[in-house]
Amino acid sequence: MLDSLGKIQSPLTRSIAGATAAFSAVIITSAVLIGFTKPKDESVHTVGVYGSLLAAGCGAIFGLVTTSKTNSTRTNQTPNRVSSEEKQVTNTAGWQDWRNFVVIRKVRESEEITSFYLKPQDGGSIPGFKPGQFLTIKLDIPEKDKPVIRTYSLSDYSESGTYYRLSIKREGAPKNSDLPPGLASSFMHDQVQEGTIIPAKPPAGKFFLDLNKSLPAVLISNGVGITPMMSMAKACKNFNSTRHLWFVHGARNGKFHAFENEIKAIAQQYPNLQVHFRYSRPQPEDNGKYQSVGYVNAELLKQSVAPEIEKICGSQDAEYFLCGSPPFLQSLREGLKEWGVPEGKVFFESFGGGAKTNVTTKDTNVQNSGNERSAEIVFAKSGKTLNWQDSDGSILEFAEANGIDADYSCRQGICLTCMCALNEGEVEYEEPPTGTPDEGSVLICVCKPKSSRVVIDL
């Protein structure tokens, strides 16, 4: 009976069940005894009634006790199976800040991209993550006075869950610029070897594939934008292989195409995964490696992918995940919008986010109406006190416009490079940043003053 009672989930229901069982047991017992003895005194009947009521109360208490005991037992049990969604978000207790990882393997994937496999130096477990998320790492580069912080997409979704993989493109010098090649990517390619220690923060990011959904998904990328798509495709194969997936990737040619064989191997194990590679400048030796020539755009999706989705799934309804260079994203987003794809079904992430961007804030309507906000910003270390207006953009943009040097990388509130202490006042974000600043600090690349006076330790 205890086992049966323990299987009831609701505490109230268990209590009522316990009371009913006890009440019934005493009533039946009393009836049997009275039937056999046939007493003439009515007090025996009264005793039976009160006894039944007392038993009901005891049964109710017993039900509650059983509830507490059963719940305690259930809490201490380790489930044998974990759902795909739970596996995505499982975290390791105690890893709140930086944790040292060891590079256990370094693999060249293409002419520009190299993968780094990381395991925790302490030998402990690592948290799962949502496919598409990134890892924030800290690099001690000799020529820099302080660590360089960067974010890179996780490019694998291993079934073992014992390592992370980052696949990093060597960034060249910007065109028509005197700026040097990518500092962090060059260091990773040239200096980091197997055995190198790299501190990292837990996986994070809002760009990810929900493994619990069944709606067809189209993963579209170019260049190193393929990295989050690899983890999405692998995760879907492992945990939701009934979902139809289209993997569309653009590369210059075979030399610059990372993970070509790996994604083909995934497709062989995942019949619901369709692959389309498009090369912009294929070489003779690339014959058989790609399906079309040109750049990945909305027209390719309309002509090649959408008809397949409709043929296999009965409609063209799907989610679209985009990752690539800014021009690539802009072209696709505009094309999908013109095609009529709802914005709520288009998800995107850009790489190479170092360019300045305009930050839209909550008070845009106020600004347009002529009642522009203003605030006094004190840059403590620089010794400058300046009047900021809403049209000046983020605090980072305002600092740069006034000759104040500030560290930054992503300009999207992700990497924490721009983090500064807030000595006085309040700031606000358009939406909570992906990266979590230290207590008392703010990410100046994506925030604006909220109070009339703000003091920044910059």
Residue 358 inside a domain? The answer is: no
Which pLDDT belongs to residue 40? Answer: 54
Rounded to an integer, what distance in angstroms lies between the CA atom of residue 108 and that of residue 125?
A: 26
Which pLDDT belongs to residue 416? Answer: 83
Residues 94, 14, single domain; the answer is no
Which pLDDT belongs to residue 5? Answer: 46
Total domains in the fold of the chain: 4
Q: How confident is the model at residue 196 (pLDDT cuts 50, 70, 90)?
A: very high
Which tens digit of pLDDT belongs to each residue from 288-340?
999 999 999 999 999 999 999 999 999 999 999 999 988 999 999 999 999 99
Residues 228, 325, single domain; the answer is yes
Residues 384, 404, single domain; the answer is yes
Which pLDDT belongs to residue 16? Answer: 52
Which pLDDT belongs to residue 78? Answer: 26
| Phi, psi angles (nearest 5°) of residue 121 | -65, -30
Average pLDDT over residues 41-45: 54
Q: How confident is the model at residue 415 (pLDDT cuts 50, 70, 90)?
A: confident
Which pLDDT belongs to residue 42? Answer: 55
Rounded to an integer, what distance in angstroms lies between the CA atom of residue 267 and that of residue 60?
A: 57
Domain boundary among 41, 76, 111: 76
Angle CA 343–209–358, to nearest 5: 45
Residue 212 inside a domain? The answer is: no
Cα–Cα distances in angstroms (integers) from residue 54 to residues 41, 61, 243, 246, 323, in the given order: 21, 11, 57, 66, 68
Q: Which H/E stretch holds residue 115? A: strand 113-120
Average pLDDT over residues 41-50: 53
Rounded to an integer, what distance in angstroms lies between the CA atom of residue 395 and that of residue 397?
A: 6
Rounded to an integer, what distance in angstroms lies between the CA atom of residue 228 and that of residue 205?
A: 11
Q: Which amino acid is at 456?
A: I
Residue 356 inside a domain? The answer is: no
Q: How confident is the model at residue 159 (pLDDT cuts 50, 70, 90)?
A: confident
| DSSP secondary structure letter of residue 381 | T
What letters, b where the CB count within 10 A reaches 16 and e where it falls short, cover 352-367? bbeeebebebebeeee
Listed range (267-271, 343-347, 406-410) with the worst mean pLDDT: 406-410
Residues 222, 158, single domain; the answer is no
Which tens digit of pLDDT belongs to each residue from 358-370?
333 333 332 333 5
Residue 209 inside a domain? The answer is: no
- What's 380's domain CATH number? 3.10.20.30
Decide: 220 and 302 in contact? Cβ < 8 Å.
Answer: no
Residue 391 inside a domain? The answer is: yes
Cα-Cα-Cα-Cα dihedral of 208, 214, 219, 225, to 10°? Answer: 20
Rounded to an integer, what distance in angstroms lies between the CA atom of residue 340 and that of residue 334?
A: 10
* CB half-sphere exposure, 38, CA atoms < 13 A: 1
Report whether pLDDT(28) > 70: no
Domain boundary among 53, 76, 99: 76
- % pLDDT > 90, the chain: 58
Residues 232, 339, single domain; the answer is yes
Which pLDDT belongs to residue 146? Answer: 82
Contact residues for 338 (Cβ-Cβ < 8 A; gap 6+) = 298
Which pLDDT belongs to residue 298? Answer: 95
Cα–Cα distances in angstroms (integers) from residue 278 to residues 103, 290, 293, 297, in the given order: 32, 6, 5, 10
Domain boundary among 76, 111, 136: 76
Report whether pLDDT(174) > 90: no
Decide: 197 and 120 in contact? Cβ < 8 Å.
Answer: no
Question: pTM here?
Answer: 0.69
Contact residues for 289 (Cβ-Cβ < 8 A; gap 6+) = 254, 257, 260, 277, 279, 282
Residue 375 inside a domain? The answer is: yes
Average pLDDT over the chain, rounded to an integer:
80
Which pLDDT belongs to residue 411? Answer: 82
Residues 103, 196, single domain; the answer is yes
Report whether pLDDT(33) > 60: no
Cα–Cα distances in angstroms (integers) from residue 413 to residues 35, 144, 445, 446, in the given order: 81, 22, 6, 6
Which pLDDT belongs to residue 94? Answer: 42
Outline where 302-350 has alpha helix (H): 306-313, 326-339
Report whether pLDDT(8) > 70: no
Q: Which H/E stretch holds residue 297? A: none
Residues 290, 231, single domain; the answer is yes
Rounded to an integer, what distance in angstroms lies between the CA atom of residue 17 and that of residue 23?
A: 10
Residues 106, 223, single domain; the answer is no
Q: How confident is the model at residue 356 (pLDDT cuts 50, 70, 90)?
A: very low
Which residue range forms the structural domain that includes residue 413? Answer: 364-456
Report whether pLDDT(166) > 60: yes
Beta bridge partners of 422: 456
Residues 193, 97, single domain; the answer is yes
Helix (H), strand (E), coil (C) string for 251-285: ECCHHHCCCHHHHHHHHHHCCCEEEEEEECCCCHH
Decide: 322 and 349 in contact? Cβ < 8 Å.
Answer: yes
Average pLDDT over residues 400-415: 85
Average pLDDT over residues 92-105: 80
Decide: 360 and 389 in contact? Cβ < 8 Å.
Answer: no
Is the CA virtual torsion 306, 309, 315, 319 positive or negative?
A: negative
Contact residues for 320 (Cβ-Cβ < 8 A; gap 6+) = 217, 218, 220, 301, 336, 341, 345, 346, 347
Which pLDDT belongs to residue 95? Answer: 78
Is the model more confident about 235 or about 45?
235
Helix axes 226-239, 260-269, angle to 10 degrees: 20
Which pLDDT belongs to residue 24? Answer: 54
Report whether pLDDT(1) > 50: no
Q: How confident is the model at residue 456 (pLDDT cuts 50, 70, 90)?
A: very high
Residue 229 inside a domain? The answer is: yes
Other Cβ atoms within 10 Å of 42 Cβ, number:
8
Residue 82 inside a domain? The answer is: no
